[in-house]
Amino acid sequence: MTTPQLPARIAVVTGAGSGIGREVARQMLADGYRVALAGRREAPLLDTADGHPEALVVPCDVTRPDDVEHLFGSVVRRWGRVDVLFNNAGVFGPAASVDEISLAQWEEVLAVNLTGSLLCAGAAVRAMKAQVPQGGRIINNGSISAHSPRPRTVAYAVTKHAMSGLTKSIELDGRAFGITCGQIDIGNTATDIMDTIGVGSGALQADGSRKVEPMFPVADAARAVLMMAGMPASASVGSVVITAAGMPFIGRG
């Protein structure tokens, strides 16, 4: 007896031109998803897509409402629905404490990490409410900084703490429409941002020292996102924390 072919699921991945977003998008495409790749620059998105026939490249600045509406409108016009949003676009921001960061620096980090996530989630929810059958899943990329921040990362830490509130609000407000929302908090996966922090050469610790910290492959972080995305509609994964084994997170000092 032949197993019936399930319809392809439709996913939107923001920040798909590099790092975690790129790896998640590629693994989703390999797993049979149709994937819209969003990011500010077209060239890295095309590189992520690598000519895959089920990839849709849509340059998008998540801080611009018109760009976000264009992104989700393009997905619905192409494939008719949105099943999954991986809300991933973000920036680390400056190394600064609360008395050092400028207003412009603060607003730039909030615009991308928080307002951008809000705009994308809002557009996704509107699409998920309108489609038949109704519903879908949103996965917000938080950070272990949502639990325990690094020194001199005030803007990033605040946005990631706020992301936890956004996640819970979406989950609650989406309940009546079959929309679930969860958050993945990743620590020390091997992306370019680890070079910015200095994890491989010596990251600043709370006691003022610097310490080389372990990292783990970004492909493993992406597999955790796919696990969340692939859960049945009857289940909601509220929170996942995945870190490099042995990194100074539990009992960070």
Residues catalogued as catalytic: 156
- Which of 181, 157, 145 is closest to 101 using CA atoms? 157
Going by the DSSP 8-state scheme, the letter that residue 231 receives in this structure is S
Residue 70: Cβ within 10 Å count = 16
Q: Are 127 and 82 in contact (CB under 8 A)?
A: yes
What's the length of the chain? 253
Residue spans of beta strands (DSSP E) within 27-87: 34-39, 55-59, 84-87
Q: Are 222 and 23 in contact (CB under 8 A)?
A: yes
Amino acid at 18: S
Residue 99: Cβ within 10 Å count = 6
Q: Which two tokens stand for residue 222?
A: 């992406």
Spatial separation of the C-alpha atoms in residues 165 and 150, rounded to whole Å: 20
- Which of 35, 33, 34, 1 is closest to 15 using CA atoms? 35
SS3 227: helix
